[in-house]
């Protein structure tokens, strides 16, 4: 089953290349909640080639490291969800709430995209 990728807000994009894009989540559960999306239609991680998987995970790690610096937080949770039928990671900064409670916040509509620039400026490329 093919799923159409949602168009990210251009101002919310942190990084984009021919394989992935990373942007602030449209429905963030915390400030700085970011998604890293595989552009080609692939329904699950196990369907990626080893090379593509390693590329994706290197990019996730790079974005996570930039988030840690830009947001001045000690943890960013990596959450892989497959309900959308498309490979993507949620990178969720942990502020004061620890454990699974950090994931209980109600999603809200993305309003402030200024963090995208702040995170982008911390990427080591």
Q: What is the pLDDT of residues 41-77, one digit of tens each?
A: 999 999 999 999 999 999 999 999 999 999 999 899 9
* Terminal-residue alpha carbon distance, the chain: 35
Q: Is residue 5 assigned to a domain?
A: no
Q: Is the pLDDT of residue 84 over 50?
A: yes
Q: Is residue 4 assigned to a domain?
A: no
Domain count, the chain: 1
Average pLDDT of the residues in 10-31: 94
Question: What is the domain range of residue 38?
Answer: 11-120
As given in the structure block, the two tokens for residue 62 are 């790079």
């Amino acid at each position: 089953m093919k799923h159409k990728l949602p168009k990210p807000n251009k101002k919310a994009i942190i990084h984009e290349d021919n394989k992935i894009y990373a942007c602030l989540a449209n429905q963030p559960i915390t400030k700085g909640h970011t998604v890293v999306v595989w552009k080609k239609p692939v329904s699950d991680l196990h369907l990626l080639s080893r090379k593509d998987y390693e590329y994706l995970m290197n990019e996730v790690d790079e974005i996570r490291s930039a988030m840690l610096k830009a947001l001045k937080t000690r943890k960013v949770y990596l959450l892989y969800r497959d309900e959308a039928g498309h490979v993507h990671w949620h990178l969720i900064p942990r502020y004061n709430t620890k454990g699974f409670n950090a994931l209980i916040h109600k999603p809200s509509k993305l309003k402030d995209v200024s963090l995208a620039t702040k995170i982008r400026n911390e990427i080591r490329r």
